Structure 1
Amino acid sequence: MDWLNRINKALDYIESNLEGEIDYSKVSQAACCSEYHFSRMFSSITDVSLSEYIRRRRLTLAAFEIQRSDIRIIDVAVKYGYDSADSFSRAFQKLHGINPSNARDKGVQLKAFPRISFQISIKGETEMEYRIENLDFELRIIGKKKTVETRRGFEIIPALWEEAVKEGFVQTLVDMSWENPKCKLESILGICGKQATINHEEFDYFMGVRYDGEVKEGMEAIVIPPSTWAVFPNTVEAWKRLYTEWIPTSGYELANLPCIECFYAPDHNPKDELWVPIIPK
């Protein structure tokens, strides 16, 4: 499968560069995917951020090397991308539970994190409902952004919305919506913004509505160009199955644009949808 081969090529590149500098643009190029989507795809499938995976692999190899040789700790630190022996020691102890120098002691217990590889898994016994939406105009979205820790995204984002309800921000968004309806995105929106680079452990989550009026005080605007979208009901379930089930067999690629979570009124069915930007292969 082409999708599977591309993802594993990206992991091949990472593995061959653990002892040097990893060019994150080359990681996404190997996967034929944007940096934004590769990072989200990796963490969604593996439940660990890409940067954390790389850190674990490097510290695994570092432990092997310390155990089987008399190499200096500072040389191992530099080899695996650390600026100092102190920063390496802190990371090593956090992962393995002991200082690097103690890794040479007989009988010590360390942790080894093996290389990840993706394989075909037979799924699809449950259908995935979706539709294609073509929006031939710019989406101008007004709201506020919050910084979210990638590995805790599914935990933090619901808490952000709860806080927004208490503070009255959600009601402000409700009051702004539906002024001049243009499409089915006339509701409260959560936009998973891009990381600056693929190895960032945080991303911007934008909470807003499609709105053509003036930017209100304390808010900002983002603009998404005309695009084609695959739309899935049930946002949480869609995120879980998007990268492993729909994208590999759909005939589409992910466009280099953010995904949008659309939350409708309580009496709407479905209650929420995931809008995913796509382009034909």
Structure 2
Amino acid sequence: MSSLEAARAATAMQEYIEERMTEPITLRELADTAGYSPWHAARLFKEATGLSPFDYIRARRLTKAALALRDGGDRILDVALDFVFGSHEGFTRAFSKAFGISPKKYSLQTPPIKLFMPNRAIETFRYYFKEEKQMSDTAVKAIFVQVIERPARKCLLLRGKTAEDYFEYCEEVGCDVWSVLTSVKEALYEPIGMWLPKALVTPGTSLYVQGVEVPQDYSNLVPDGYELVDLPPCTMMVFQGEPYDDEAFEQAIGEVWEHVKKFDPRLYGYDWAPEAAPRFQLAPMGYRGYIEAYPVKELN
């Protein structure tokens, strides 16, 4: 079996889990989804995710339960039962161990916490897709462009050291920053990866960071190592590629970057304004296409 086939099997099992988060899930069901024996499926799953299927399911259910407590008014017992925990006490112990705060206290305060986010075996895809992808020289890809306005706001972010892109950033600070950013209840938009303008890069820190934009009056907890920075109003030109297969994310990003290199915003009454705001990217998700935004200013 190739490593790519193993990654695809693990991803199929992860998708099965996501679709049945509120239902009992057996190893036999996961094995049937992957097309292997239970023993072999469990081994493949752990190699791809670092966790046994049982531990992975538990971690994902706790994350979903935390989001339910953050966003809704459901009773803790109801949330526990919804995510297949047998009792209030068992759920409270598991939740407190996972997040360092009891579910009752979390539902009242909703501070940023470290959620467990699935990686969809993407790191394996990253290496093996390079060997198997075939790019067509004649294929024409549509890139959609729109202009949006961002209001004055703050950004809760974590800086790296010297990173200039996502992979360098992960090597410096780890790949779990997104899980904390996703938990922020006051978020104005989804988390983003950012290339900061020079004015926002402090000495000895990275050009590339990850963060989430929050209201100017944000007053909740700032996790250790994170900071709040002010972002002024800005105009962003957003580039969105076509939907793509998730394993082809590097190609999708490259297509948008190549389009931006050749794009002249002056034809539409704008010019690039790299110091006005961070350039940012959304998490690559195949169903919506790769999305990246660049700061611009309107021409007089």
Tell me the TM-score range normalised by the shorter chain. Answer: 0.3 to 0.5
More relative contact order in 1 or in 2 (CA 8 Å, sep 6+)?
Answer: 1
Using the size of structure 1 for normalisation, the TM-score is 0.41
Give the TM-score, by structure 2 length.
0.38
